[in-house]
Chains A and B, each alone.
Chain A
Amino acid sequence: TQLLEQSPQFLSIQEGENLTVYCNSSSVFSSLQWYRQEPGEGPVLLVTVVTGGEVKKLKRLTFQFGDARKDSSLHITAAQPGDTGLYLCAGAGAGSYQLTFGKGTKLSVIP
């Protein structure tokens, strides 16, 4: 069974601060996705990383896939209140359609 350990579970920061969310596993993933979910809504796909060492940027969000494809991080620069939400990482094993989800990081950005 593949497990994804996501940390921190909760994060409350002031507007303008930077933060990093981590996802770690002992398993290798063929791809890893990051989602953001707001209360009462479904998760929205932010990015997919597939290559070891890959870095993708989405405005103030930077996503990195570990060289061994076992871990990933999400870094937010100058957080805004609009970044508030539940961030979920999810990994796909080779040949599998199923995703293994982390437990999520609930981010609150205080104005």
Chain B
Amino acid sequence: GAVVSQHPSWVICKSGTSVKIECRSLDFQATTMFWYRQFPKQSLMLMATSNEGSKATYEQGVEKDKFLINHASLTLSTLTVTSAHPEDSSFYICSASPTAGTYNEQFFGPGTRLTVL
């Protein structure tokens, strides 16, 4: 149980285009999902906390107009990187915290490798 999928697993796009990444909890409901960014050989950097049916909460320094987050259902959150630039190239990982969970555990998706040319 507690499986989280992410799609696509990798994407290459041209500078200036937008890219949407989906995060789904497959076998549990998640009121809260999280989006992280990970640079090579580094730990996870929290970008935003996504709550179903409400606006996402962004961490300091993360542009909310550039990284659009939508959490439309208890099993789906999307991250759209708008007007992507090469500096947005990174490994993006989502996680989901079960609504019925007790210990604030997060289950992670497999990640999406974004390369902006």
Whether the pair A42, B34 counts as a contact (CB closer than 8 A) is: no
Interface string of B13-43 (1 = CB under 8 A from A): 0000000000000000000101000000111
Known: A41-B111, A97-B32, A97-B104. 18 other contacts (CB 8 A): A30-B103, A31-B104, A31-B105, A33-B103, A42-B6, A42-B108, A42-B111, A45-B2, A45-B105, A45-B106, A48-B103, A88-B43, A92-B104, A97-B49, A97-B97, A98-B46, A99-B106, A103-B43
* Chain A nearest Cβ from B10, distance in angstroms: 9
Report B-chain residues with C-beta under 8 Å of the C-beta of A41: 110-111
The interface size of chain A toward B, counting residues with CB under 8 Å, comes to 24
Residue of B49, B108, B109 ringed by the most chain A CB atoms within 10 A: B108
Report B-chain residues with C-beta under 8 Å of the C-beta of A30: 103-104
- Report the bound CA distance from A35 to B93 in whole Å: 14
Residues of A bordering B, CB below 8 Å: 30-31, 33, 35, 40-45, 48, 50, 88, 90, 92, 96-99, 101-104, 106
